[in-house]
Structure 1
């Protein structure tokens, strides 16, 4: 596969943490701060955004692993910045190094892997699996 991806490619996003980003969204007896699942989702999003800009028609990407460390709490209302960088390309599999920061400090880091798929083939397999349950 001829790939447009290479180590060193990077992308970042910024969001303001809002009430819907609270850990309490997942369980009521958790602190009212940025939830770890939200941070993981932001890390997946920024990596998918980087890939998406370079995909061929009919291609998408799926996450296949994430090793996430959420190291500091972020009060709601603070801006969060997440940066991803491609660190390895192995055919259709891309590996990313991620870091996240709020306005005060580094709040997390992760290694994330995504795989480039053919959307029609992937969707056909999902539909076949769903049909077996019907």
Structure 2
């Protein structure tokens, strides 16, 4: 089973105000989710022709993190059933406080086959 961690520092562009997901200058929940998903992607070992796509997310955003806070997001694979991969995710700040936690499910797909199913603009 795979695991990975990534580290980011909250900047003004990561705030709820900047993303219009709120009006305060703290880490936006969509960014917290994106960082957790980044860790899940890093935890997967895929063949070059494969990629993964998000299928389901459940995230609890527990405490606010102001600009300048360093966040470590980690993902641990807890199940794999064929192409469906389930991860436990969590994010902590450098003091060890739990910022958020939850579960992310991804589906492993063949990149070219997946992209061939997209409708092109103008078609």
Q: Under TM normalisation by the shorter chain, which class is it? A: over 0.9
Q: Select the residue among 61, 69, 81 that pairs with 1:78.
A: 69
- Larger helix share, 1 or 2: 1
Aligned to 2:24: 31
- CA gap of 1:121–1:74, structure 2 versus 1, over 3 A, is same
Once superposed, which parts of structure 1, at least 4 consecutive aligned residues long, lie more than 3 Å away?
none
How far apart are residue 130 of structure 1 and its match? Answer: 2.8
For 1:130, what is the secondary structure of its paired residue?
A: coil
On the 8 A contact 2:21/2:28 being kept in 1, the answer is: no
Instruction: Using structure 2 for the length normalisation, give the TM-score.
Output: 0.92
Aligned to 2:3: 10
Q: What is the aligned residue count?
A: 122
Aligned to 2:38: 45
On the 8 A contact 2:25/2:66 being kept in 1, the answer is: yes
RMSD: 1.5
Matching of residues 85-100 of structure 1 within 5 Å:
85-100=76-91
Instruction: Using structure 1 for the length normalisation, give the TM-score.
Output: 0.85
Deviation by residue 1:16-50 (Cα, 9 ceiling, x = unmatched): 11111111112285110000000000011110111
Aligned-partner Cα distance in 2 for 1:67–1:24 = 22
Rg larger for: 1
- CA gap of 1:28–1:94, structure 2 versus 1, over 3 A, is closer
Aligned-partner Cα distance in 1 for 2:22–2:54 = 29
- Larger strand share, 1 or 2: 2
